Chains A and B, each alone.
Chain A
């Protein structure tokens, strides 16, 4: 159990948890600001970004692809604004128009270009390949202290850890202005908080989280983690700090339980193969949200009696 767990399960679990938390953190503010679908839009447009980066550089390497993905995310946000302003189109429709078009462009690019030699396909982009991120250098629990073995960890671990640290720092630094501008933009403006740049910074943080997590776990988990844990947490408490804490807890539980259920659940049921961990993590987060919808102490709107 020990060695097998270290080699096969530790890294995916770690990556799953890091990705889930990195998405859930900014997700709290997106849910409160009614921008939950920005995460959805961004994770769709990441596809053309990484494909364009691949076509330009000709290699499947992490950094160009992440830059391409982030670039596509920024372009999509700008395009949504452009369509909304120039065409006076309702924001939801503008968003739907832009992200489906960019996704369609990504799929077309993928089909048209010769990517047969590399592992780059739409399914991979959608539900990632968490199970393949193994730590083959591990030789026992002692490897956790061995720098040589640690260097063999999938690079996603370090990347996600850095992104998560950056997100925590961002939220810690801008906690008060973010909270004020989220709950009362008018008041925020009157005390000199600049809502526009702050909102853009939040969207950028979201895009960074989405791109880093996308590379490791695919876009389903990304969308699910932006929305489900924060939404469930929102039904648990009225305090922002506690909501963020709840959402982190829910994200961790979803990632761990989802991974375990996907890997071992079918074996318990007598089936031979495991199922998609990404899908299962999203499913578990949905079950948590469903439970919170039925049982959460603060599930009602203010003014309605909690039944």
Chain B
């Protein structure tokens, strides 16, 4: 990969066509990430997999029809229209199977996905045997291909993706409401079914636009991965839509740039792998839900427990053998290297012992006190009660409480 080529592609300087393709992929990623958020929140990520596979027979039939009418079979808007119709049929069939029969959604998805795809392959083999079909290159719809894309096709994709993004913006409120709390939405009189259908309709639009860029097998990743990433960084629906759209846009943009600047880099898979890279980063680094953050939290909790238990053991003049406890105490400057308490250590021991004695006193004299709910062996009573309450307890306690 040439860095200069990559930078040129990234800054839309690699020629008019590549710039259009990169812009189209960016807009597609935006629309897909935003739409995918609602699909994800309604837990229907895999329904979009059925929708995307169901596009194939539509592509084949549209091609055959356009050729039969004496036209050019590869006309992209016609193929997109055909794929949208068959995808819609697939979506309706999934819904019908779930609502009319005892089959569950996963079986309905699997059935529609495989059967429509199988029928699509049958049609592709028919087309391959036709004279006009040999050069059709409809296989590029399976995995997407931006190499050799016509200018008119790039424009179609960019415009359609922009329209999808606008639709997403226009209907964001009802979709947010339904995604967040369908029960409340229904009680307010929102037609939940219709909004659900709208969400899947948008997913369908994104899917058919993405066929040419990412391909029908991988387009579902554009709907799934960005919202999963966004969920790591926020708990708010509106922020999640924005983050997912941004992630999708960046994946599409960077992915096409990488794909354009090196040989043998298929666009669709590269876009998906860029998105997956962002996912791994989020999984590790997210402050609230990331793996590193929770490891740190666990570690800090562990240190608090060992510090407290170590101090209490010192208060009872018991020897400490646990290595982690010794290390925690030593690092906090509470004991010296030989295990003897320092000045600060003796103060901390006294404070811990006093606190434990206060807890014990409250437990004995007033077992119904709500403050006891907060006892976890780590929290000091100082943090929970006022100074007056503390001095009341200290006065009522039998001894001085300090060992």
| A residues adjacent to B (C-beta < 8 A) | 31, 34-37, 39-40, 44, 83, 86-90, 92-97, 100-101, 103-105, 107-108, 111-112, 122-123, 126-127, 220-221, 223-224, 226-228, 230-231, 234-235, 262, 266, 271-276, 278-283, 285-286, 289, 293, 296, 298-302
Q: Does B120 contact A (CB under 8 A)?
A: yes
Residues in chain B near residue A302, CB distance under 8 A: 102
| B residues adjacent to A (C-beta < 8 A) | 40, 43-46, 49, 96-97, 100-104, 106-111, 113-122, 124-126, 129, 139, 142-143, 217-218, 220-221, 224-225, 227-228, 231-232, 264-266, 268-270, 272-273, 276, 279, 283, 289, 291
Task: Verify A276–B122 contact, CB threshold 8 A.
Answer: yes
Q: 7 A–B contact pairs at CB < 8 A? A: A34-B106, A103-B217, A104-B221, A223-B117, A279-B121, A282-B115, A282-B121
Q: Which of B100, B103, B126, B217 has the most A CB atoms < 10 Å from its CB?
A: B103
Whole-angstrom CA separation of A293 from B119 in the bound complex: 19
Task: Verify A40–B129 contact, CB threshold 8 A.
Answer: no
Task: Verify A235–B279 contact, CB threshold 8 A.
Answer: no
Task: Verify B228–A104 contact, CB threshold 8 A.
Answer: no
Task: Verify B110–A226 contact, CB threshold 8 A.
Answer: yes
Residues in chain B near residue A108, CB distance under 8 A: 265-266, 269-270, 273
Task: Verify A220–B43 contact, CB threshold 8 A.
Answer: no
Known A-B contacts A108-B269, A126-B142, A228-B111; A100 and B129 likewise in contact (beta carbons under 8 Å): no
Partner of A40, one of B43, B110, B118, B120: B110
Partner of A93, one of B115, B224, B265: B224
Task: Verify B269–A283 contact, CB threshold 8 A.
Answer: no
B321 to chain A, nearest CB (A): 34
Task: Verify A37–B45 contact, CB threshold 8 A.
Answer: no
Known A-B contacts A276-B122, A286-B119; A103 and B109 likewise in contact (beta carbons under 8 Å): no
Chain B residue at smallest Cβ distance from A222: B114
**Total contacts A-B at CB 8 Å:** 202
Chain A residue at smallest Cβ distance from B215: A107
Besides the known contacts A87-B289, A289-B115, 17 further A-B residue pairs in the complex with CB atoms under 8 A apart: A89-B228, A90-B40, A94-B228, A96-B49, A107-B266, A108-B270, A111-B269, A223-B110, A223-B117, A224-B111, A235-B102, A275-B126, A276-B122, A279-B121, A279-B124, A282-B114, A282-B118
Task: Verify A103–B142 contact, CB threshold 8 A.
Answer: no
Partner of A276, one of B125, B221, B289: B125
Task: Verify B232–A87 contact, CB threshold 8 A.
Answer: yes
Chain A residue at smallest Cβ distance from B276: A101
Partner of A87, one of B265, B266, B269, B283: B283
Known A-B contacts A224-B118, A282-B115, A283-B115; A298 and B125 likewise in contact (beta carbons under 8 Å): no
Task: Verify B143–A122 contact, CB threshold 8 A.
Answer: yes
A48 to chain B, nearest CB (A): 11
Task: Verify B49–A228 contact, CB threshold 8 A.
Answer: no
Known A-B contacts A90-B45, A97-B225; A279 and B125 likewise in contact (beta carbons under 8 Å): yes
Residues in chain B near residue A105, CB distance under 8 A: 269, 273
Residues in chain B near residue A271, CB distance under 8 A: 126, 129
Q: Which 8 A-B pairs have the closest CB atoms?
A: A282-B118, A286-B115, A279-B121, A227-B110, A100-B221, A104-B269, A224-B114, A279-B122
B49 to chain A, nearest CB (A): 6
Known A-B contacts A35-B106, A87-B228; A97 and B276 likewise in contact (beta carbons under 8 Å): yes
Whole-angstrom CA separation of A280 from B220 in the bound complex: 25
B39 to chain A, nearest CB (A): 9
Partner of A280, one of B44, B109, B118: B118
Residues in chain A near residue B139, CB distance under 8 A: 123
B41 to chain A, nearest CB (A): 9
Whole-angstrom CA separation of A214 from B183 in the bound complex: 44
A169 to chain B, nearest CB (A): 26
Task: Verify A299–B114 contact, CB threshold 8 A.
Answer: no
